[in-house]
């Protein structure tokens, strides 16, 4: 118990609670109005998506372009369940069903495709993502291309709670023996296997955890934005998520969080200049890639222990 509440973990807990209090005070004071609340919600969903994709691409080194497919599964499971049972219980059941379906689909996708490497894997997962979308497009229960119209199910505290839960699951996984095994697969698969690590198993693990969390993000999307359509979950959506991961730095979870926030704010700021929006967005991305080719944080993490060490060193230098 003592170790769980060391000073660095306490710093994290405090900053979690702090940002929650700050956001909800700003909301109730009306400084974050309903327009900006949508921005906040989008950012929360994007953080979940980016960190879960980072687990697959940045940590385990498996280049997946099918993330929107898993988001689609989550969104539609929640959506269909809410249609049958328009209550919070229905929504929660929907999340659960989405999690189960996406875990099974991820396993089916992972076992044959994770033998592939690099661009081959990217193409294979891209194909699977599109298959999921086409299946949804042609099913009766999902109402085809017209999509589903849903009531708004979620409020800010619930969303924030889910975000924190997802982040804790991902970060605890990365900072443990299974997480180290995933990193070793990224670093050198041959050496990793020679050190007694079942590389296939950990690739599949990471892929499933990433997919399940993406489906939760999809459900959050369905519970917030009233309408879901298959066209929202195309290949473009996967690329959007990938951009956030690369922007923040592959392998850096805090990088993904920061990238999702920055890109979310940039997007909403540029909404006012809609004619030049995509141009400025594109230039911003190109600049990042020129000046920080490995993303905002590279593979480093923002940590309180890092800051602590930095301050200690500064003090020693002064002495």
Chain contacts with another protein (rule: CB under 8 A): 1, 3-4, 169, 172-173, 176-181, 183-184, 187-188, 190-199, 205, 299
Of 154 and 214, nearer to another protein (C-beta) is 214
Query: How many angstroms separate the Cα of 169 from the Cα of each of 48, 53, 164, 251?
Result: 11, 14, 9, 16
Token pair recorded at residue 198? 């079942």
CB distance 259 to 295 below 8 Å: yes
Of 31 and 194, nearer to another protein (C-beta) is 194
Of 84 and 172, nearer to another protein (C-beta) is 172
Which parts of the chain are beta strand (E)?
148-149, 227-228
- Residues with Cβ within 8 Å of 93's Cβ and at least 6 positions away in sequence, in order, are 81, 85
User: In the bound complex, what is the minimum distance in angstroms from residue 179's beta carbon to another protein?
Assistant: 7
The CA R_g of the chain, rounded to the nearest whole Å, is 20
User: In the bound complex, what is the minimum distance in angstroms from residue 10's beta carbon to another protein?
Assistant: 14
User: In the bound complex, what is the minimum distance in angstroms from residue 309's beta carbon to another protein?
Assistant: 10
User: In the bound complex, what is the minimum distance in angstroms from residue 253's beta carbon to another protein?
Assistant: 14
User: In the bound complex, what is the minimum distance in angstroms from residue 169's beta carbon to another protein?
Assistant: 5
Name the burial class of residue 252, with classes exposed (0-12), middle (13-18) and buried (19+) by CB atoms within 10 angstroms of its CB.
buried
Block residue for tokens 């979690």: 16
Of 28 and 309, nearer to another protein (C-beta) is 309
Of 141 and 311, nearer to another protein (C-beta) is 311
């Amino acid at each position: 118990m003592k170790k769980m509440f060391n000073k660095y973990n306490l710093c994290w807990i405090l900053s979690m609670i702090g940002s929650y209090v700050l956001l909800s005070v700003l909301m109730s004071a009306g400084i974050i109005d309903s327009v900006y609340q949508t921005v906040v919600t989008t950012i929360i969903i994007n953080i979940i998506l980016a960190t879960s994709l980072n687990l697959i691409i940045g940590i385990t080194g498996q280049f997946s372009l099918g993330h929107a497919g898993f988001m689609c599964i989550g969104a539609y499971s929640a959506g269909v369940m809410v249609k049958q049972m328009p209550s919070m219980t229905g929504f929660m059941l929907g999340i659960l069903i989405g999690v189960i379906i996406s875990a099974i689909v991820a396993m089916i996708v992972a076992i044959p495709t994770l033998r592939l490497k690099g661009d081959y894997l990217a193409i294979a997962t891209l194909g699977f993502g599109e298959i999921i979308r086409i299946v949804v497009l042609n099913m009766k229960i999902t109402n085809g291309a017209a999509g589903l119209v849903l009531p708004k199910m979620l409020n800010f505290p619930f969303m924030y709670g889910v975000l924190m839960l997802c982040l804790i699951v991902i970060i605890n996984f990365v900072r443990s023996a299974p997480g180290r095994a995933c990193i070793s697969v990224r670093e050198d698969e041959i050496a990793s296997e020679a050190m007694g690590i079942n590389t296939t198993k950990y690739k599949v693990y990471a892929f499933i955890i990433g997919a399940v969390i993406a489906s939760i993000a999809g459900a959050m999307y369905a519970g917030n934005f009233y309408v879901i359509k298959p066209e929202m979950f195309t290949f473009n959506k996967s690329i959007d998520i990938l951009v956030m991961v690369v922007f923040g730095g592959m392998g850096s979870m805090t990088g993904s969080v920061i990238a999702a926030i920055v890109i979310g704010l940039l997007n909403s700021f540029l909404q006012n200049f809609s004619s030049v929006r995509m141009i400025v967005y594109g230039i911003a991305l190109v600049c990042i890639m020129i000046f920080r080719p490995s993303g905002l944080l590279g593979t480093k993490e923002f940590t309180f222990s890092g800051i602590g060490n930095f301050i200690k060193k500064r003090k020693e230098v002064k002495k």
